[in-house]
Structures are given as structure tokens and as C-alpha cells.
Amino acid sequence: MNIKIGERLKELRKSKGWTQVQVAAKMGLTDSVISFYERQERAPSPEVLIKFAELYDVSTDYLLGVEKVNDQHLDVTGLSKREITILKEFIEILRKKNS
């Protein structure tokens, strides 16, 4: 699936219940810049892309819509860090059980 980075950024922001103003404050940018990114009128620099990935706790590949054939991944968008940790622990238990 080819998702534009602006759509992905908007989707992530809304999943957190944040406004563009709130994201801008967290990123040290202006809300107009956030709007430009979400509308695909500007592309974030690599440094800003990394900051977005850290803010939303996703990979830069996820933000860019990079998907590899046969690459399995679990979309944890909208989950808390605690919930993600629990899932990782559960996956590790399953790996040990199956090895």
C-alpha cells in the first residue's frame, strides 16, 4: 500500500488526539509547518522525520510507507508504550515456546 507521508503524519496525530498546534509545540516547529507536511506541500528533512518517528514511536520506514515483500510487521499505532511492551514480551514467549 502506498501511503503518502502527509497522510501517515495526520493519521498518527489524530490517533493521539493531538492538534497541529500541540504537535508543533512538541516538535519545536510552527503549526503552519505541520500543516504543510500533512498536506504534502513540504517534505520533512531527515532530521525532522526522525523526530516524528520518535514522537509517534514508529519507524521512519513506517512514516515513509516503505514496505518490503514478505516483511511481517505489527502495526501498533495508537497503543501505549506499556501495551507495546506487553506485546513484545508475549511475542518473545511465543518464540521461546516454538523453538
Q: Per the domain annotation, does 46 fall within a domain? A: yes
Indicate the burial class of 55 (C-beta count within 10 angstroms; 0-12, 13-18, 19 or more).
middle
Can you give the pLDDT at residue 1?
42
Q: Per the domain annotation, does 65 fall within a domain? A: yes
Check which CATH number belongs to the domain holding 19 and give it: 1.10.260.40
Using the CB atoms, write b or e for 63-97: b if 16+ within 10 Å: beeeeeeeeeeeeeeeeeeeeeeeeeeeeeeeeee
**Cα–Cα distance measured from residue 39 to residue 67, given in angstroms and rounded to the nearest whole number:** 22
Query: Is the pLDDT confidence value at 40 over 50?
Result: yes
Banded pLDDT at 66 (limits 50, 70, 90): confident
Q: Per the domain annotation, does 98 fall within a domain? A: no
Q: Per the domain annotation, does 92 fall within a domain? A: no
Q: Per the domain annotation, does 94 fall within a domain? A: no
Can you give the pLDDT at residue 92?
87
Rounded to an integer, the average pLDDT of 47-69 is 84
Domains identified in the chain, total number: 1
pLDDT tens-place string over residues 7-16: 999 999 998 9
Rounded to an integer, the average pLDDT of 5-27 is 94
